[in-house]
Amino acid sequence: MARRTFFSFHYLPDVWRAMNVRKCLKFMPEEAVDGFFDNSVFEASKRESEASLKAFLRDGMKSSSVTCVLSGARTSERRWVRYEIVRAILKGNGLLTIDIDGVKNEGGYVADKGRDPLSCVGLYKTDNGMFFAEVSNGEWIKYGDYTSAVPATCLWFDPPSSASVIPLSAHCMRYDFATQNGQQNIAGWIETAAGLAGR
């Protein structure tokens, strides 16, 4: 079953790599393609306000059932990638990371392996509810772009039981496109993420 998949990535350094990953199934024999629908939007840099950018990203994710973070050297630090990760959880999407540092860019170069973006966003419990946290300067802080309590009904995994932050990477799979034969396996990885989320 094909999944409508939203791809999140750091645009400027990784767009070439991301495009090659997102379009890889076009070059496989038709009978071998389980496939996925591409429902991505690029990070928009020229919007009237932060609110309009957030609305733009939410709209881009509307029909997706899986969010796939394509991770390069600095993706984990990107504000809007983190926002897309948070929105994926609130939407109940399947969620996974695929490292793309080993995919050559237009100049033929690979990149340094970055930190898993899903290890930089997490959840914790307080007396007032459950909240998102993010890593800043090596420390967990309350996530700033969505400060409301997170409904437990959004989660497809066990909610945190204490004030200790549980990173989303504890619940989601991480793969490497270059070393794990991503062209052959990406559809299966996406399907696994959908299955974990009950989508």
Model pLDDT, residue 127: 96
Other CB atoms within a 10 A radius of the CB of residue 19 amount to 17
Model confidence at 15, pLDDT cuts 50, 70, 90, reads: confident
Give yes or no for a contact between 115 and 76, defined as CB atoms under 8 angstroms apart: yes
Model pLDDT, residue 31: 46
Dihedral (CA of 173, 176, 180, 181) sign:
positive
Model confidence at 179, pLDDT cuts 50, 70, 90, reads: very high
pLDDT at position 35 over 70:
no
Mean pLDDT of the chain: 88
- DSSP string covering 32-56: G---EEE---PPPS--S-HHHHHHH
pLDDT at position 196 over 80:
yes
Model confidence at 83, pLDDT cuts 50, 70, 90, reads: very high
| Out of 30-39, 104-113, 117-126, least confident range | 30-39
Q: Can you say how many angstroms the Cα of residue 81 is from the centroid of all Cα atoms in its chain?
A: 7
Model pLDDT, residue 32: 41
Element (H, E) at 88: helix 79-91
User: Residue 87 contacts by C-beta under 8 Å, 6 or more apart in sequence?
Assistant: 57, 58, 61, 67, 146
Question: Percent of the chain at pLDDT above 70?
Answer: 87
Model pLDDT, residue 13: 87
Q: Is the pTM of this model over 0.85?
A: yes
Other CB atoms within a 10 A radius of the CB of residue 4 amount to 18
Asked if CATH classification 3.40.190.10 holds for the domain at 3-115+169-196, the reply, yes or no, is no
Other CB atoms within a 10 A radius of the CB of residue 76 amount to 23
**Token pair 């998102």: residue:** 132
Model pLDDT, residue 171: 98
The amino acid at 58? R
Domain map of the chain by residue range? 3-115+169-196
Model pLDDT, residue 159: 96
- Phi then psi for residue 93, to 5 deg, are -70, 150
Instruction: Determine the 3-state secondary structure of 107 from DSSP.
Output: coil
